[in-house]
């Protein structure tokens, strides 16, 4: 039998839904017993090889190596993070934005910052935000309501597997429906065939755009807890600080209160945004405090 390739987009308790782009549709696939015996189980985002039986149902034969894997929710082969935020209603604080960006950097995934609800902005709010983040990150200002830059965002998503992250209230669901009207409705209709009407589990899910591409309907970073990295590695994940490596008086400068700190000079001069430095400082102290506790000195 011919082996085909597809991407796992949704799980049921006994089988899974696979998108096969060459077929132009979805296939319900089962997993052979030997996988369960060996403790092997695909996750959403996995590229798998499968065969189609005479009854039209697929059977998974192998799982291809993963390029990457996120843990919350567990999902593989993500190519980019779409970080959705708003500057009004609600105003997402810069510290929250910086925390999302740190998590994406640790996961070694590129980030596209989508500033939603720009129809609510006044004055130079967008320009101020872009001055802080625009040099190191791609920014797409959009409005679901007015459909501003929706085509540009579609091009960014087209043909890629993305994860959409962001705080509650920033308009992620509205943005998805603006990008692909009726998307949620169609997914619900398709999903009713999974498990033939039985209740399904609550794993992560990839939604399929009509214009091409897949996106996780749950944020790739549902929990903003800092991962367990050494405090000394934090500066590598702030591009404007990392690029100044070796410029301070001390090679191991942590940019807190050491003399001759070039990074602090740049902050005072306005060349590094103070909000970004303050986010770095808060996270550094948080990691440092965790190290102290772990070392048993408290």
Q: Transcribe 241-277 into DSSP letters.
A: HHTTTT-SSSTT--SSS-TT-HHHHHHHHTSS-HHHH
pLDDT at 287 over 50: yes
The CATH code of the domain that includes 157 is 3.40.50.300
Q: Which region among 30-39, 150-159, 177-186 has the lowest average model confidence (pLDDT)?
A: 177-186
Backbone angles phi, psi at 36, to 5 degrees: -65, -40
Q: What is the pLDDT of residue 88?
A: 94
Q: What is the pLDDT of residue 8?
A: 95
- Residues 41 and 158 grouped into a single domain: no
- Residues 84 and 188 grouped into a single domain: yes
Q: What is the pLDDT of residue 33?
A: 84
Inside any domain, residue 212: yes
User: How far is the CA of 118 from the CAs of 46, 81, 297, in angstroms?
Assistant: 35, 20, 48
**pLDDT category of residue 296 using cuts at 50, 70 and 90:** low
Single residue among 63, 82, 110 that ends a domain in this structure: 63
% of the chain residues with pLDDT over 90: 65
Q: What is the pLDDT of residue 196?
A: 42
pLDDT at 66 over 50: yes
- Residues 46 and 73 grouped into a single domain: no
- Residues 126 and 175 grouped into a single domain: yes
Q: 236: which 2 tokens?
A: 């590598």
Q: What is the mean pLDDT of residues 30-48?
A: 88
Number of domains in the chain: 3
**pLDDT category of residue 190 using cuts at 50, 70 and 90:** very low
- Residues 143 and 92 grouped into a single domain: yes
Range of the domain at 143: 69-198+206-216
Q: What is the pLDDT of residue 243?
A: 96
**178 close to 150: Cβ distance less than 8 angstroms:** yes
Inside any domain, residue 181: yes
Mean per-residue pLDDT of the chain: 87
pLDDT at 279 over 50: yes
Inside any domain, residue 163: yes
- Residues 126 and 210 grouped into a single domain: yes
- Residues 88 and 47 grouped into a single domain: no
Instruction: In whole angstroms, give the CA distance from residue 113 to residue 73.
Output: 20
């Amino acid at each position: 039998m011919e082996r085909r390739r597809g991407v796992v987009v949704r799980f049921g308790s006994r089988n899974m839904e696979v998108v096969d782009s060459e077929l132009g549709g979805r296939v319900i696939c089962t997993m052979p017993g030997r996988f369960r015996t060996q403790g092997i189980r695909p996750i959403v985002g996995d590229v798998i090889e499968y065969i189609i039986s005479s009854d039209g149902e697929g059977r998974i034969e192998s799982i291809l190596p993963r390029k990457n894997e996120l843990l919350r929710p567990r999902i593989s082969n993500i190519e980019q993070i779409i970080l959705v935020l708003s500057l009004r209603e609600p105003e997402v604080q810069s510290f929250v934005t910086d925390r999302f960006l740190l998590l994406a950097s640790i996961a070694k995934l590129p980030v596209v910052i989508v500033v939603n609800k720009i129809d609510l902005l006044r004055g130079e709010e967008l320009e101020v935000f872009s001055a802080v983040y625009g040099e190191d990150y791609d920014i797409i200002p959009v409005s679901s309501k007015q459909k501003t830059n929706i085509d540009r965002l579609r091009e960014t998503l087209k043909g890629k597997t993305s994860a959409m992250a962001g705080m509650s209230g920033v308009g992620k669901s509205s943005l998805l429906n603006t990008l692909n009207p009726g998307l949620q409705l169609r997914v619900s209709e398709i999903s009713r065939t999974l498990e033939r009407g039985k209740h399904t589990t609550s794993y992560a899910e990839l939604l399929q755009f009509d214009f091409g591409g897949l996106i996780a309907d749950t944020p790739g970073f549902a929990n903003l807890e800092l991962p367990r990295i050494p405090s000394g590695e934090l500066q590598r994940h702030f591009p404007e600080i990392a690029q100044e490596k070796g410029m301070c008086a001390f090679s191991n400068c942590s940019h807190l209160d050491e003399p001759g700190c070039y990074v602090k000079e740049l902050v005072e001069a306005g060349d590094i945004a103070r909000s970004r430095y303050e986010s770095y400082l808060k996270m550094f102290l948080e990691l440092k405090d965790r190290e102290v506790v772990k070392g048993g000195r408290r």
